[in-house]
Amino acid sequence: MFGKKEKPEKREGFLKRLRARINKGDNWLTYDLANLVPGGKIDEAVLEDLESLLVMADVGIDTTEQIISDLRHSLARNELHDIEALQNGLRNSLLKILEPAEKPLAIEKPDGPFVIFMVGVNGAGKTTTIGKLAKHLQDSGYSVMLAAGDTFRAAAVEQLQAWGERNEVPVIAQQSGADPAAVIFDAWQAANARGIDVLLADTAGRLQNQAGLMDELKKMQRVVSRHDENAPHEVMLVLDSSQGQNALVQAEKFHEALGLTGITVTKLDGGAKGGILFAIANRLRVPVRFIGIGESVEDMQTFRASEFVDALLASGNRDN
């Protein structure tokens, strides 16, 4: 299974960066929480203020209502006597929502290569995530090959090839404008012939013609399944967290068309507050596999619900 051989010191460094970088290091939850309760008394007005905070952090209205309703019950039972109790209640409620989304990517060893399609709109971070994931997989002992399935933009093929060269990972590509289905068909054969463990396929992400894009991706799915009826084994959506609630709308569209099996959320190091993960977990019920907190290879890790909630609730803007 992926992640088993993860070095603990790498994970620690990542957590440090996650806490320091999420929402640019402003721990909105804790910071604002203390500000919400100047007198230290938790009442309905405090919960209403918290409600607006969560909505503004991209948690989404129905998910926020669920959280506030949990807290309201605690308040009615006189369990919220101070900020600490409120924080604990909030932590439990956030965890309850996020934990079902924690299902790390498991690479089974099928007869042929384990095929992962990386999908998402332009700029979400697909190609970058492929690079990071390829490195993670290699570090865990898997052999990897890349397929340049974004043939729409010439730069996309070059970006993938350059990355492959730097890291000595084979890349299967055709000229730009080629049929992505043909690219993935060939890439599967090449990967299978060389006994490669994991084939990572990049795809196009143009938004102008959404129906056209979905048809193209479905064709890629059909074509690769002729080689192996279980392929692609993972259809992973890459989502830019700074897109806020718009990211959720995108995710729903991709899920409807392709049947997503995993999501990677990128750019949590920007201004994004991270609430989008709760909306994804609660509404979409597709596992969150990885989170990205920067552009370099070590800035991506397996998603763990409790670590994420702790990063949001970490007190102050510290970096340990």
Ligand X SMILES: Nc1nc2c(ncn2[C@@H]2O[C@H](COP(=O)(O)OP(=O)(O)O)[C@@H](O)[C@H]2O)c(=O)[nH]1
Q: 105 to 134, contacts with Mg ion by CB under 5 A?
A: 126-127
- CA–CA distance, 9 with 23 (Å, rounded to integer): 23
Closer to ligand X by Cβ: residue 18 or 196:
18
Task: Tell me which residues in 86-125 interact with ligand X (CB under 6 A).
Answer: 120, 122-125
Interface pattern 143-172 for Mg ion (x via CB under 5 A): -------------x----------------
Choosing among ligand X, Mg ion, none, which partner's interface includes residue 36 (Cβ < 5 to 8 Å by kind)?
none
**Sheet strands (E) in 66-181:** 114-119, 144-149, 171-172
Nearer to ligand X, 115 or 237 (CB): 237
Choice between 42 and 201, CB closer to Mg ion: 201
| Cis peptide bond N-terminal to 100, omega within 30 | no
Is 266 near ligand X (CB under 6 A)?
A: yes
Burial 10-35 (b: 16+ CB within 10 A, else e): eeeebbebbbbbbbeeebbbbebbee
Q: What is the DSSP letter of 234?
A: E
270 is an interface residue for ligand X by CB under 6 A: yes
Q: Which is nearer to Mg ion, 167 or 192 (CB)?
A: 167
To which residue do tokens 């807290």 refer? 71
Rounded to whole angstroms, how far apart are CA atoms 156 and 127?
Answer: 8
177: tokens are: 């404008």
By CB under 6 A, tell whether 127 contacts ligand X: yes
Question: By C-beta, is 131 or 232 nearer to ligand X?
Answer: 131
Q: Which residues of 283-296 are buried (b: 16+ CB within 10 A; e: fewer)?
A: ebebbbbbbbbbee
Taking contact as CB under 6 A, which single stretch among the options 25-33, 35-43, 85-93, 262-270 is the one that binds ligand X?
Answer: 262-270
Give me the residues that bind ligand X (CB under 6 A), please. Answer: 120, 122-128, 205, 238, 266-267, 269-270, 292-295, 299
